[in-house]
Structure 1
Amino acid sequence: MRIKKKWFVLLGLSALFVLIALWSFHSKKKTTDTKARKKQQIFIRQLMEENYILKKNIRDIKAQIANKYDSGNHSCFTSSHGINKCEVIHIAIVCARYNSSRDVVTLIKSVLFYRRNPLHIHLISDPAARLILQSVFETWAVPALEVSLYLADDLKPEIQWIPNTHYSGVYGLMKLTLPKTLNKTLEKVIVLDTDITFATDIAELWKMFLKFSKRQSIGLVENQSDWYLGKLWRNHHPWPALGRGFNTGVILMDLKKLRDISWMKVWRTIAERELITLLSTALADQDIFNAVFKQYPHLVYTLPCQWNVQLSDNTRSHHCYSDVSDLKVIHWNSPRKVKVKNQHIEFFRNLYLTFLEYDGNLLRRELFGCTGQNKPLAIIEKKISTLNEDDDCFEFRREGILIYRTHLYYLDYDYVPIENDVTLVAQLSMDRLQMLETICKHWQGPMSIALYMSDGEAQQFLRFALASSILMSRRNIGYHIVYKDGQFYPVNHLRNVALRQVRTPFVFLADIDFLPMYGLYDYLRKTVVELEVSSNAKKALVVPAFETQRYRFNFPTSKTDLLAQLDVGSLFTFRYHVWPRGHAPTQFNKWRTATTPYQVEWERDFEPYLVMKVDQIPAYDRRFVGFGWNKVSHALSLDAAEFEFIVLPNAFMIHMPHAPSLDIAKFRSSSLYRKCLKTLKAEFYNDLFEKYGAKAAKYVPE
């Protein structure tokens, strides 16, 4: 019995040694692979953790909202915060330049997520931000949200005399002018910086006005850094302040009281006096506000610090909260913004990212019990209500009239007009993003690009662009985000969005998966002059289209080089093997030997890529979404309007291979899709008859 036990022990030990030896051999063999995979696994794990936190954050916030709504007072007249549920809450924001417009959208998302009252937003902006914000809010079409725009240039004479070293420049001083700038009938307003994130209903903050004494006219949170104590470094001489001073990222302004005390005269007198010795402001308006309160302390009401949890460096913000439920407003008041150091920075950052990537369409919630909430959305809803939901093509018709949220000039844009300039117009979705860098190498001129993306994808695009030296070196590209909505890719709507932002006299109507020949930009600028395209004559210049089926090939450097590649079969005329009718009218055989431009006649299904005078181009027909007849209908409209199609002999563009789009797959697999496209074509023909009469008969299929 003992011998057997010893035998089993020896056998077990032997097996263990064999296993250890095998494991050791296997480990040594794969050491290199393991190290290579380790970094990848860490990166993937980090992404998964971030994704989990974001999703959890959204669930938690939604749960908080649901709890608040369930436990609140839902009477028809009073909200859970003790104010009339239909009382309009007024918000003022100074927003200048392109980056600030993105910040404003994130801020407003956080406000809309929690709000239960109508809002009126007053935006003070420079011309660039004004254009962007006007488009954002008009297309967002949020119920019970009104927006008023004020030109910052009108305010500059009041404050540009003040020397200011703060990075916000002259715009950082404009909040001082609000009692004079805003409508005289407006009695109170909440003033917010753009780098603010709300974590509760703004009505709670609005209610704080009720706590003001008769003399108090401004509500602020105490400054959470030691700036105004003057101890941050040697020879630090801040502006005068009460104790720690106050932060102006969140301000409650009783405008009526401020006007009664001649606010503009009060702050100006004090600022002039302090500038004699201090020479300039370091923290813009905040320095002047604090100097006023130092002399007139009765004007200020101290808000609880949860209403402005400041995340700049060296702050005492952690004293403002002991639990997540204590948080009201998070203020990223550091030049480093979300990269600032803080013991709870991951939580704050994830809360911010939640709203950054939150689907803004979900915030188009109606506020029940308050009338006259949103006219544009009501008009669209009325149009949709007239559609027959039993119609097989209901979704196609619905998406032809949707309002797509649009954020123009998502990145910095600085175009200086030059004579006879040509803008390339194109559109794309996330799966074509990689083409941007390549097309930049082929086209040096201005571009107007519409990008169809979700809120989350827009942030991915932003990160991609900021990390790209090629894209960041260009300031003549207007990137316009059109946010996803519906089931189909709204290709013609995207083209219209990009087309409306063209600031040159001529435009090249292209697609993002085509690469222009090297030098095409300069060639077109000369050609539009030679062919007198700027005249009243209706001319559409055709850029011949070719394609390659190779992902890697030597891009032709000249027409001669292209013809050689055509002859050996590494290039083809575009879609010759699946849809030759689309470009057959270009007459490629004639183009091979042509040395001068030649005119061609329109033929059925012609869909060329064109260069035209921008103010002559008709809008693309929005009813054509997804795949099929989007460019064909446009070329047909041009022919009906009696445009001449002129082929350029020394120009070309090449289509690059890529995976088929989802809409092409739908078209090929769905008989209903093809049936609806046929129906929309018939309706398009009927519209042509109404517009052009009998001469439109040639367009109807036999």
Structure 2
Amino acid sequence: MMVRSRSLGQTGIIIIIVLCFFLLRGGRVGKPDVNDVRAGATTSAPAEEENELTAHEVVPLSDIENDLLFRPPIDIALIFTKTKDNFGLQYKFRVAVGSMLRHVTVPLRLHLITDDEGFSTASTIIREIQEGHQYNTNHVKLVYVSAEDFAMEIKSSVRVLQDFFTSHRDTYYRDALFFFSIHLHNLLPGLERVILMDIDIKVKGDIAELYSHFDHFVSTNVIGMAFEQSPVYRHLLAVYRNENKKTLLGSPKSEGGFPGYNSGVVLVNIPRLRQSEIIRNYLERSKLEIATKKYGFQGHLGDQDLYTLIAFDHPELFYTLPCGWNRQLCEWWRKHGYSNVFDQYFNCTDTINIIHGNCKTEIPDGDD
């Protein structure tokens, strides 16, 4: 009897332990762990626990969103000044930035070279674009760069450049902002690479692809631009070309010539610009007098005239972008003496990634 009682007692203890085990497990029935939710597990929870499960659900990011979190931003500089009541300029800015955000696959840091009012206006426009198209606001950071303060800093240098590369009849290109690009190493000193773009553009491609052209720069390249797509430099070099019959300067690319550069889209390696003694020399009046006299050159288009002049003797400083990254629409020279050769400059068979409505040419609305 004693043996039997002892056996029953052991059995009772075992039963109690088993019951306790099931009671403890009961509180966890039907609650999948986080990994199950992320993987899309279908284990169902009791009705009273649905709210708790929803609160702890983890929604995985898409591949694009996940990639954006770990990619460094691309630095884009845009000049946006004199915006008060200038609704045409505001519209161009909206088109430029809106089309850029529509196609971009990387985070952007937009350096707005402007004033207080311009920055406020630009911020409002960008916010409206983001809200209207449900773009992630974390993928765009705005940086305010004072145009007025910087213009005063480079005033003496700009005055020299204006004498050689602007027309006294055309006050438009006499504005200091048309020479900001040559001073970007002072304006944006903390950057390594930056893309400066005009705002009379519409972007049709991914800016990340444009930025990748920095990787194609050779060690001597400082600045990247597309060729000018009109015979403007053929015209400006008319005397020089007449005296130098075999020159290719001012000739179209199709003839193996150099038609000059257009500064609507400019890729700048900031450290190399800062270190370039050659470019620094071309900011001096004495050097410009020698170079412009040599080529009989009097420009009127601001910084792109300077770059073109430098490239005549130092092409190694420049990287040439495909024409599709700055597809210029201006056809002014077709109607002013160059209709017979105009298309040799104007033709562009590359994929069009940026449309540039230069010389106030309207960009077609439906050209997305």
Q: TM-score higher than 0.5 here? A: yes
Aligned match for 2:227, one of 222, 228, 246: 222
| 1:180 alignment counterpart | 186
Deviations 1:170-212 (A, max 9, x none): 1222222112111x22100111011111111111101111111
CA distance in 2, matches of 1:243, 1:320: 15
User: Which of 113, 116, 120 matches 2:105?
Assistant: 116
- Kept in 1, the 8 Å contact 2:230–2:346? The answer is no
Contact 1:177–1:264, Cα closer than 8 Å, also in 2: no
Q: Which amino acid aligns with 2:187?
A: T
Say if 1:221 and 1:179 are closer, same or farther in 2 by CA, change over 3 A: same
Return the offset for 1:149.
1.9
- Structure 2: which amino acid aligns with 1:303? L
Report deviation, 1:136: 3.6
Query: CA-to-partner distance for each residue in 1:637-659, whole Å, 9 max, x for gaps?
Result: xxxxxxxxxxxxxxxxxxxxxxx
Matched, 1:96 2:42: no
Is the CA contact 1:220–1:303 (under 8 Å) kept in the aligned structure 2? yes
Cα distance in 1 for partners of 2:106, 2:326 equals 21
List runs of 5+ in structure 1 lacking aligned partners: 1-72, 339-347, 355-702
> Could you tell me how far 1:121 is from its partner in structure 2?
0.9
**In structure 2, what is the equivalent of residue 321 of structure 1?**
349
Q: In structure 2, how many angstroms separate the alpha carbons of the residues matched to 1:265 and 1:85?
A: 37
- The Cα RMSD (Å) is 3.3
How far 1:266 moved relative to its partner? 3.4
Residue 226 of structure 1 deviates from its aligned partner by 0.9
SS, match of residue 350 in structure 1: coil
Identify if the C-alpha distance between structure 1 residues 89 and 290 changes in structure 2 by more than 3 Å, giving closer, same or farther. same
Q: Distance in 1 between matches of 2:237 and 2:316?
A: 28
Rounded Cα–Cα distance in structure 2 between residues aligned with 1:131 and 1:186: 24
Kindly report which structure 2 residues correspond to 1:59-98, keeping only aligned pairs within 5 A, or say none.
74=63, 86-98=71-83
Cα displacement string for residues 562-605 of structure 1 (whole angstroms, at most 9, x for unaligned residues): xxxxxxxxxxxxxxxxxxxxxxxxxxxxxxxxxxxxxxxxxxxx
Displacement, 1:231? 7.3
Q: Give the corresponding residue for 1:245.
A: 260
Aligned to 1:205: 210
Q: Distance in 2 between matches of 1:263 and 1:153?
A: 28
Cα distance in structure 2, aligned partners of 1:174 and 1:215: 22
- Structure-2 separation of matches of 1:312 and 1:285: 18
Aligned residue pairs, count: 261
How far, CA to CA, are the matches of 1:185 and 1:311 in structure 2?
34
* Shift in alpha-carbon separation, 1:206–1:85, aligned structure 2, 3 A: farther
Aligned to 2:10: none
| 2:138 counterpart residue number | 143
Partner of 2:316: 298
The 3 A distance-change label for structure 1 pair 160 and 152 is farther
Residue type of the partner of 1:93? Answer: L
Work out whether residues 74 and 109 of structure 2, in 8 Å CA contact, stay in contact via their aligned partners in 1.
yes
What displacement does 1:319 show?
2.8
Could you state the TM-score of these two structures normalised by the residue count of structure 2?
0.62
1:643-694: CA deviation from partner (whole Å, max 9, x where unpaired) = xxxxxxxxxxxxxxxxxxxxxxxxxxxxxxxxxxxxxxxxxxxxxxxxxxxx
Q: In 2, Cα distance between the equivalents of 1:263 and 1:123?
A: 28
| Secondary structure of the structure 2 residue equivalent to 1:143 | helix
Letter in 1 for 2:144: L
1:152 paired with 2:147, answer yes
Find the counterpart in structure 2 of residue 308 from structure 1. 326
Query: Larger relative contact order (C-alpha < 8 A, sep ≥ 6)?
Result: 2
Q: Unpaired runs of 5+ in structure 2?
A: 1-61, 131-136, 243-248, 251-256, 335-341
- Whole-angstrom CA distance in 2 between matches of 1:133 and 1:75: 27
TM-score normalised by structure 1 residue count: 0.34
Question: CA distance change for structure 1 residues 274 and 198 in 2, over 3 Å: closer, same or farther?
Answer: same
Find the residue that maps to 1:204 and give its secondary structure.
helix
On the 8 A contact 2:158/2:179 being kept in 1, the answer is: yes
CA contact (8 A) 2:78 2:110 kept: yes
How far apart, CA to CA, are the structure 2 residues paired with 1:227 and 1:279? 12
Distance 1:350 1:168 in 2: 27
User: Retained in 2: the 8 A contact 1:195–1:331?
Assistant: yes
Sort the Cα spacing of 1:351 and 1:128 in 2 relative to 1 into closer, same or farther, 3 A: same
Shift of 1:93: 1.5
The 1:267–1:127 alpha-carbon spacing in structure 2 relative to 1, beyond 3 Å, is farther
Q: Which amino acid is the alignment partner of residue 113 of structure 2? A: I
> What is aligned with 1:536?
none
1:280 Cα offset (Å): 5.7
The equivalent residue for 1:105 is 94
DSSP-derived class of the 1:351 partner = coil
